[in-house]
Amino acid sequence: MFHRHARAACVGAATVGALVLTALQGAVAAPTAAHGPAAASAPGPAARSAAETLAVSAVPPDVLASMQRDLGLTRAQAQRRLANEAEAGATAARLQQRLATSYAGAWVEGDEASVLTVATTRAADAAAIAASGAEAVVVPHSLAALDGTKAALDRAARRAADTGVPVWYVDVRTNSVVVRAVDPAAAESLIARTGGVDRSRIRVVPTDERPRPLYDIRGGDAYYMGGSGRCSVGFAITRGTQQGFATAGHCGRAGTTTSGYNQVAQGTFQASTFPGRDTAWVATSANWTATPYVKGAGGANVQVTGSVQQPVGASICRSGSTTGWHCGTIQQHNTSVTYPEGTITGVTRTSVCAEPGDSGGSYVSGSQAQGVTSGGSGNCRSGGTTYHQPVNPLLQAYGLTLKTTTGPGDPGDPGDPGDPGEPGGTWAAGTVYRAGDQVTYGGVAYRCLQGHQAQAGWEPPNVPALWQRV
């Protein structure tokens, strides 16, 4: 159905068309070690100050905040860790050059990465390592030898990969190549296929790891429908624990399978409406993760912080897999348009251009999701008119939650977020509200002024642009 429609849009620039592009396309002992002299004392204030300046001065605050959250550090500890790591990296690099073929790797330890250990196969190197401020450990295998063993495993795996052996790596701490195996027999088979590497360098350890590739769901990126055409992701969504994306209904019917921008298996259409409306959503496999972004100009990520519908005359930009990022203005809401397949209602008319393959893609005003591309006329060389299916009715119809960044952004005058009132009432984050809807919050009644999907931080007393007290 939509193949014919897409061809019509290409042939007749003035013909209204749906913009889908037809198919083109466990614990182990460390090695016996002989330690050199105790580590030298920490660098003096001048050296440490220089290291901190280099390592910390340009670090964005959110990086430090993430380190605090994920590593259990204070801000000061995170800063000292970065400084220590910068110094340790430089020291290890110098020692690697000096030790040459005897170098066997380096690692840091401690919450603040305050201890650097450098391994060598030659006991005579211990003094030089200690003089650099690091601890020395003497081991049987050089890093080059371990790298060679791993390379042999890589070649054997290319000839016959086995998911029973999901991971292998050089482990400098244990001076070995670790093969993590779900199936020990598969590990031994992989080792045998190397053609006789030194088995003393390899340790096989059990694992329950089942690694899988991870891909992002991002508005504007391409996806392919069962080998029959290409459309564009609208917005990443969740439905309970299920992840996926919203898109145009004419791109596929319930049960249609999809592959992603990289042609990797992605998901399945769960529901689709067209004509009448032009809405659909796709549930993706665990390999795909919903992100609160739309692909912007030059491939940069544009944040999605909410779904407040903007008024007629407002600027709006569209992201699609054929023509990328284009902008225009909102011309009319609540438009009806007739395609060869039938009439759809309730769409928004815009001056943004689009072409086949852009169907389903994202419309954004600022950081607010507006809708998914339905169809249009013209093209991005001579200009055109396009229609998008507003996102809030789509979310509401299928019980979806828009994926947004942590901070919902500012939909207008934020009011005073310091006193949102006592929680409770009928207002709930994740609910799609239409203009005129009434809720209670903190014992007070409010009327919705603009359609949106509620976000944490947008409680009615906080956002007078969205809610009016009644």
> Could you give the residue numbers annotated as active site?
250, 278, 359
Strands 215-219 and 288-295, bridge-based pairing: parallel
Give the single-character DSSP code of 141: S
Residue 378 CA to residue 230 CA, distance in Å, equals 19
Integer Cα distance of 330 and 341 in angstroms = 25
Contact 156, 193 (CB under 8 A): yes
Q: Residue 53: how many CB atoms within 10 A of its CB?
A: 12
Secondary structure of residue 181 in the 3-state scheme: strand
d(CA 152, CA 146): 10
Mention every residue, 6+ apart, whose C-beta is less than 8 A from residue 231.
20, 21, 222, 223, 225, 247, 248, 251, 252, 321, 357, 359, 360, 361
- Asked if residues 269 and 258 have their Cβ atoms less than 8 Å apart, the reply is yes
369 three-state secondary structure? strand
SS3 labels along 409-460? CCCCCCCCCCCCCCCCECCCCCCEECCCCEEEECCEEEEECCCEECCCCCCH
Q: Cα torsion at 47, 52, 53, 58 (round to 10°)?
A: 160
Is residue 283 within 8 A of residue 238, CB to CB? The reply is: no
| 267 exposure class (CB count in 10 Å sphere: 0-12, 13-18, 19+) | buried
